[in-house]
């Protein structure tokens, strides 16, 4: 039942048993099996599920026009913009894919298998994959990329994300082994992060400027690239997979104002918008030239308090802020209810490793009481820094919080910075509102944001018990057991009042009604090779 | 003649001084905090040691005055650096954008000047008439609505409602007049009313002058009175106002360009500030200042030409 004919991870058999007994759902089973290196198709077959038949569209001469910021992508592994990755994703491929349903699938790696302690991972590459310059894709390429990410001088965010990765060992032309210093159950998921495209082993020798020498293994090839204006991709002959349905994709940079994008869609000048915000929803619904697409995602805003800064070094103050906040109201007023209420622990109910805690209740009286106890009987002045990095809704959320806290005698001042200014202080400000994008697993976000040693630990949360709990959770494959471990972690974050995390925000976008088979993705990692246009 | 040359020299000196002061302020605002520059150039996820290495590699640990002088010298020599966002030579990036904005602003002026002068003269020729009142009313309404609101309104009517015009003006397939209609209209609408009101006031004032009454008493036709007697004097004020409008149009251009995704100087400046592209913001600020200062100098010169009392000779020739 596993992809490479060897013996599967012992947990795989146990998973199948759990699935048959109905202890875990279909998605949980497929997901967990895929981490263990069991391919989606064989896992589905073993469990007696029918794999979804892929939709086949004819290879066409269509061109799709996609509104997307066209940003510099000289070194795809160094990019800090997901938009840029949506361009190079047409040419560059990844070892693993996490699809729109949050399920991990084989991509350039056809299978993988962890050791029992989840510290050693064996990967096997898909044979017969060729680069657009004719070279074969081998473990030499993989080793080049991974060594670049984790090199001490690396400027890639992968150095942070793969802090546990100690090295790669090439075991054959198509097989390699990754060594970790602690168990990481989410390793395959992390390999689909937008900063992890597989570059050609000679990338640096070719000048280290990807748009100038756009060699890739993907279905399209880059034909035009002008930062801030447009970029074009053309279907490539000789792709290893099924040929893409579109002949050409044009990415058009229309700036940051989404109402401009909607006007372009209404006038038929473009076919797919990158994203629409909650502010444009009504307009999009009314336009006959637009079809609204909604997508649930574990993206959120976190109003976190730094534990080593006054007055947040006092748990009672943090707790008072958390108790006075009305998460449901913030969702209703600032995001018009399109989402799920958060529980102040940064794990979403629809993430597979979520564990339900007792409902968190707002209690203004208790908040006042705690403040008085902490020596702020006459209330307290606090300042929240934010940057509207994703849109106006961040400020709207903060304003609702301002009203909520006023009820408990907390006078909240909002310090609204331009987005670019905000990014230079996001991890320095004592009380700040930060947007966190979707992660397939709750444990991934906790590991990045709240582990004491993580360089993205913006709340300066430092709890050895929590770190130890994370290590345990990261080493558990079994969803039932892991969610128990997660319950403990969630409880610590909630009890320590690290943050007010009001809601999980849905994603929206709009496309022309002609566009077929386009799927939103919770991480905005769009794949264009199966999209086509219906006749007008 | 010597006086004119001395005056020109004084003006150029003033221009240079203004540029110098602004350049210092721009540099102070954007590069005083070197840590901030490093974050902006290397990105928010860079680590402190990466930033420190970059700072020392690029001479950022030198004293502020030295850094400023070095930057100023590079700027004067045309070495404007490379944009961190666009990854392109800044001079090469800015020139075509300036051209595109000139087309847009020029189109705006081309519509605005004849329209406002005709409306203003028509209104001022007969003060208090029904024509005057209706033109004044429309002028006040269009002037008081800012560009961002006009843009949304026109776009809602002509793009989303009627579907007659394109919603964005990217000029992806070369210069397109159809794509110019909306941005030019927005720019023209905002300023036409203002200039028309100025022309009207100036015209009304001239029409009340004794020499106009004299012409009327002599039996000259209304058309002859307006064209031969009143118009020349009535145009002094509006021409000055039009020159003064140019820097104002520059700011309007930013709003309009961003709204219609027009790839001009305005969107460039906007993108540069959104993405904290320090060097590009500096260059754009300097170019804007240059545009404003030069257009103001030209306006002064024209004004002096139109009104001899203001010439350095103090009206000796009149």
pLDDT given for residue A324 in this prediction:
96
pLDDT given for residue A48 in this prediction:
53
Question: What's the gap in Å between the CA of B130 and the closest CA on chain A?
Answer: 39
Residues of chain A neighbouring B167 (CB-CB closer than 8 A): 260, 262-267, 269
- Mean pLDDT in residue range B23-37: 81
Give the confidence band of A430 by pLDDT, cuts at 50, 70, 90.
very high
Regarding predicted confidence, which is higher, B305 or A194?
Answer: A194
Instruction: Flag if A257 and B258 touch (Cβ within 8 Å).
Output: yes
Give the confidence band of B317 by pLDDT, cuts at 50, 70, 90.
very low
Q: What percent of chain A has pLDDT over 70?
A: 90
- What are residue A414's phi and psi, to 5 degrees? -100, 130
pLDDT given for residue A31 in this prediction:
66
The dihedral through the CA atoms of A347, A351, A353, A357 has a sign that is positive
A121 found inside a domain: no
Instruction: Flag if A266 and B172 touch (Cβ within 8 Å).
Output: no
C-beta separation of A16 from A46 below 8 A: yes
Give the confidence band of A43 by pLDDT, cuts at 50, 70, 90.
low
Residues of chain B neighbouring A71 (CB-CB closer than 8 A): 85
Q: Is the pLDDT at A4 greater than 50, yes or no? A: no
Q: Is the pLDDT at A96 greater than 70, yes or no? A: yes
- For B47, the closest of A423, A424, A455 (CB atoms) is A455
A205 found inside a domain: no
Question: What's the gap in Å between the CA of B278 and the closest CA on chain A?
Answer: 11
Q: Is the pLDDT at A42 greater than 80, yes or no? A: no
- Mean pLDDT in residue range B214-233: 81
pLDDT given for residue A251 in this prediction:
95
Closest to A451 in 3D by CA, of A440, A441, A442, A463: A463
Residues of chain A neighbouring B165 (CB-CB closer than 8 A): 267
A397 found inside a domain: yes
* Most distant CA pair in chain A, distance: 73
Low-confidence winner among A45-49, A235-239, A310-314, B17-21 (lowest mean pLDDT): A45-49
Which long-range CB contacts under 8 A does A423-429 form with residues at least 24 apart? A423/A387, A423/A389, A423/B39, A423/B44, A423/B276, A424/B35, A424/B36, A424/B39, A424/B40, A424/B44, A424/B276, A425/A385, A426/A387, A426/A458, A426/B44, A427/A456, A427/A457, A427/A458, A429/A306, A429/A385
- Mean pLDDT in residue range A336-346: 95
Instruction: Flag if A255 and B155 touch (Cβ within 8 Å).
Output: no
Instruction: Flag if B167 and A71 touch (Cβ within 8 Å).
Output: no
Question: What's the gap in Å between the CA of A336 and the closest CA on chain B?
Answer: 23
How many of the other CB atoms lie within 10 Å of CB of B177?
A: 8
Give the confidence band of A52 by pLDDT, cuts at 50, 70, 90.
very low
Angstrom distance (rounded) from CA B217 to CA B219:
5
pLDDT given for residue A337 in this prediction:
93
pLDDT given for residue A81 in this prediction:
85
CA B231, B235, B236: angle at the middle one, nearest 5? 135
pLDDT given for residue A214 in this prediction:
94
- For B155, the closest of A80, A253, A263 (CB atoms) is A263
Angstrom distance (rounded) from CA A449 to CA A489:
13
Minimal-distance CA residue of chain A relative to B87: A72
Residues of chain A neighbouring B159 (CB-CB closer than 8 A): 263, 266-267
Q: Is the pLDDT at A334 greater than 80, yes or no? A: yes
Q: How many domains, chain A?
A: 2
Instruction: Flag if A260 and B259 touch (Cβ within 8 Å).
Output: yes
Question: What's the gap in Å between the CA of B236 and the closest CA on chain A?
Answer: 40
A291 found inside a domain: no
C-beta separation of B93 from B280 below 8 A: yes
CATH of the domain at A398: 3.10.105.10
- For B166, the closest of A80, A267, A287 (CB atoms) is A267
Give the confidence band of A317 by pLDDT, cuts at 50, 70, 90.
very high
- What are residue B246's phi and psi, to 5 degrees? -60, -50
pLDDT given for residue A92 in this prediction:
96
C-beta separation of A483 from A518 below 8 A: no
Mutate which of B30, B41, B45 to disrupt the A interface (most A C-beta within 10 Å)? B45
Q: Render pLDDT for B158-202 as a digit per residue (tens, 0 to 9).
A: 888 888 888 888 877 777 888 888 999 998 888 888 888 888 888
- Mean pLDDT in residue range A397-425: 91
Question: What's the gap in Å between the CA of A199 and the closest CA on chain B?
Answer: 20
pLDDT given for residue A374 in this prediction:
92
A160 touches chain B (CB under 8 A): yes
Give the confidence band of A9 by pLDDT, cuts at 50, 70, 90.
low
Give the confidence band of A6 by pLDDT, cuts at 50, 70, 90.
very low
A366 found inside a domain: yes
- For B168, the closest of A264, A283, A424 (CB atoms) is A264
How many of the other CB atoms lie within 10 Å of CB of B164?
A: 12
Angstrom distance (rounded) from CA B262 to CA B166:
12
- For A228, the closest of B50, B259, B271 (CB atoms) is B271
State in Å, rounded, how far the first CA of chain A is from the last one. 45
Number of residues that this document lists for chain B: 318
- Mean pLDDT in residue range A447-472: 91
Question: What's the gap in Å between the CA of A455 and the closest CA on chain B?
Answer: 8
Mutate which of A424, A429, A436 to disrupt the B interface (most B C-beta within 10 Å)? A424
A95 found inside a domain: no
pLDDT given for residue A46 in this prediction:
56
Low-confidence winner among A71-80, A225-234, A343-352, A483-492 (lowest mean pLDDT): A71-80
- Record the pTM: 0.80
CB contacts under 8 A, A 411-430 vs B, are 418-421, 423-424, 426
Instruction: Flag if B273 and A418 touch (Cβ within 8 Å).
Output: yes
- Mean pLDDT in residue range A296-315: 93
A333 found inside a domain: yes
Closest to B263 in 3D by CA, of B100, B106, B94: B100
Instruction: Flag if A266 and B258 touch (Cβ within 8 Å).
Output: no
A168 found inside a domain: no
C-beta separation of B185 from B146 below 8 A: no
- What are residue A220's phi and psi, to 5 degrees? -120, 165
Question: What's the gap in Å between the CA of A298 and the closest CA on chain B?
Answer: 21
pLDDT given for residue A293 in this prediction:
93
C-beta separation of A165 from A180 below 8 A: yes
Angstrom distance (rounded) from CA A90 to CA A70:
14
Instruction: Flag if A269 and B167 touch (Cβ within 8 Å).
Output: yes
Minimal-distance CA residue of chain B relative to A263: B167
Give the confidence band of A342 by pLDDT, cuts at 50, 70, 90.
very high
Angstrom distance (rounded) from CA B68 to CA A506:
47
Residues of chain B neighbouring A455 (CB-CB closer than 8 A): 47
- For A256, the closest of B165, B168, B274 (CB atoms) is B274
Regarding predicted confidence, which is higher, A390 or A326?
Answer: A326
C-beta separation of A90 from A96 below 8 A: no
- Mean pLDDT in residue range B77-98: 85
Owning domain of residue A42:
11-47
Q: What is the mean pLDDT of chain A?
A: 88
Q: Render pLDDT for B236-283 as a digit per residue (tens, 0 to 9).
A: 778 778 877 777 777 778 888 888 888 888 888 888 888 778 888 888
Q: Is the pLDDT at A47 greater than 60, yes or no? A: no
């Amino acid at each position: 039942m596993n992809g490479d004919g060897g013996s599967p991870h012992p947990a795989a058999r146990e998973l199948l048993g759990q699935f048959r007994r109905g202890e875990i759902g279909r998605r949980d089973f497929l997901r967990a099996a895929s981490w263990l290196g069991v391919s989606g198709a064989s896992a589905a077959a073993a469990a007696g599920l029918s794999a979804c038949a892929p939709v086949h569209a004819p290879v066409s001469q269509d061109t799709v026009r996609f509104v997307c910021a066209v940003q510099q992508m000289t070194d795809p592994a160094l990019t800090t913009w997901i938009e840029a990755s949506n361009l190079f994703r047409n040419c560059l491929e990844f070892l693993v894919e996490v699809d729109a349903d949050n399920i991990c699938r084989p991509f350039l790696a056809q299978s993988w298998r962890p050791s029992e302690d989840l510290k050693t991972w064996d990967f096997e590459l898909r044979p017969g994959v060729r680069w657009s310059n004719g070279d074969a894709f081998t473990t030499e390429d993989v080793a080049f990329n991974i060594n670049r990410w984790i090199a001490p001088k690396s400027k890639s965010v992968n150095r942070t994300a793969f802090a546990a990765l100690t090295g790669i060992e090439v075991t054959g032309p198509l097989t390699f082994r990754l060594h970790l210093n602690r168990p990481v159950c989410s390793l395959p998921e992390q390999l689909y992060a937008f900063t992890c495209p597989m570059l050609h082993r000679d990338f640096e020798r070719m000048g280290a400027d990807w748009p100038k020498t756009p060699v890739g293994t993907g279905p399209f090839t880059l034909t035009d690239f002008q930062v801030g204006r447009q970029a074009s991709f053309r279907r490539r002959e000789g792709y290893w997979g099924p040929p893409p349905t579109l002949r050409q994709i044009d990415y058009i940079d229309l700036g940051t104002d989404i109402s401009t994008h909607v006007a372009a869609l209404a006038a038929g000048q473009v076919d797919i918008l990158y994203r629409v915000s909650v502010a444009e929803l009504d307009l999009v619904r009314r336009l006959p030239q637009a079809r609204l697409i909604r997508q649930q995602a574990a993206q959120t805003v976190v109003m976190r308090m730094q534990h080593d800064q006054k007055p947040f070094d006092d748990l009672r103050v943090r707790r008072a802020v958390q108790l006075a906040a009305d998460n449901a109201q913030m969702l209703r007023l600032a995001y018009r209810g399109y989402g799920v209420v958060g529980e102040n622990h940064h794990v979403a109910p629809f993430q597979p490793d979520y564990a339900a805690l007792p409902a968190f209740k707002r209690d203004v009286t208790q908040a006042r009481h705690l403040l008085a106890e902490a020596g702020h009987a006459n209330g307290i002045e606090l300042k929240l820094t934010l940057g509207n990095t994703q849109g106006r809704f961040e400020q709207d959320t903060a304003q609702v919080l301002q009203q909520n806290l006023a009820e408990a005698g907390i006078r909240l001042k909002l310090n609204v910075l331009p987005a670019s200014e905000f990014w230079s202080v996001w991890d320095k400000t004592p009380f700040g509102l930060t947007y966190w994008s979707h992660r397939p697993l709750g444990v991934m976000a906790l590991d990045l944001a709240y582990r004491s040693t993580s360089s993205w630990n913006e709340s300066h949360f430092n709890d050895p018990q929590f770190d130890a709990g994370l290590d345990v959770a990261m080493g558990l494959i079994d969803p039932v057991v892991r969610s128990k471990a997660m319950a403990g972690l969630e409880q610590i974050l909630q009890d320590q009042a690290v943050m007010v995390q009001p809601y999980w925000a849905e994603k929206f976008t709009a496309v022309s009604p002609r566009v077929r088979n386009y799927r939103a993705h919770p991480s905005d990692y769009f794949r264009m090779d199966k999209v086509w246009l219906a006749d007008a | 003649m010597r006086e004119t040359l001395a005056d020109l020299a004084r003006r150029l000196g003033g221009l240079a001084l203004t540029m110098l002061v602004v350049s210092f302020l721009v540099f102070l605002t954007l590069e005083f905090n070197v840590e901030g520059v490093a974050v902006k150039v290397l990105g928010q996820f860079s680590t402190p040691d990466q930033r420190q290495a970059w700072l020392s590699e690029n001479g950022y640990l030198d004293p502020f005055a030295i850094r400023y002088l070095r930057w100023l010298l590079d700027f004067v020599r045309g070495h404007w650096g490379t944009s961190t966002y666009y990854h392109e030579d800044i001079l090469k990036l800015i020139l075509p954008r300036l051209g595109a904005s000139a087309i847009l602003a020029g189109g705006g002026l081309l519509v605005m000047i004849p329209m406002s002068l005709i409306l203003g003269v028509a209104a001022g020729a007969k003060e208090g008439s029904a024509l005057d009142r209706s033109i004044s009313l429309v002028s006040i309404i269009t002037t008081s609505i800012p560009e961002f609101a006009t843009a949304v309104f026109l776009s809602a009517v002509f793009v989303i409602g009627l579907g007659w015009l394109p919603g964005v003006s990217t000029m992806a397939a070369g210069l397109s007049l159809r794509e110019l209609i909306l941005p030019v209209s927005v720019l023209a609408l905002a300023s036409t009313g203002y200039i028309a009101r100025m022309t009207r006031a100036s015209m009304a004032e001239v029409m009340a002058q004794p020499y106009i009454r004299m012409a009327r008493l002599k039996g000259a036709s209304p058309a002859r009175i307006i064209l031969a007697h009143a118009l020349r004097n009535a145009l002094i004020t509006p021409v000055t106002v039009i020159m003064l409008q140019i820097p104002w149009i520059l700011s309007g251009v930013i709003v309009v360009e961003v709204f219609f995704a027009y790839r001009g100087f305005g969107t460039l400046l906007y993108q540069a500030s959104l993405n904290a592209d320090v060097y590009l913001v500096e260059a754009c600020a300097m170019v804007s200042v240059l545009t404003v200062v030069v257009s103001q100098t030209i306006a002064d010169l024209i004004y002096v030409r139109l009104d001899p009392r203001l010439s350095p000779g103090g009206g000796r020739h009149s």
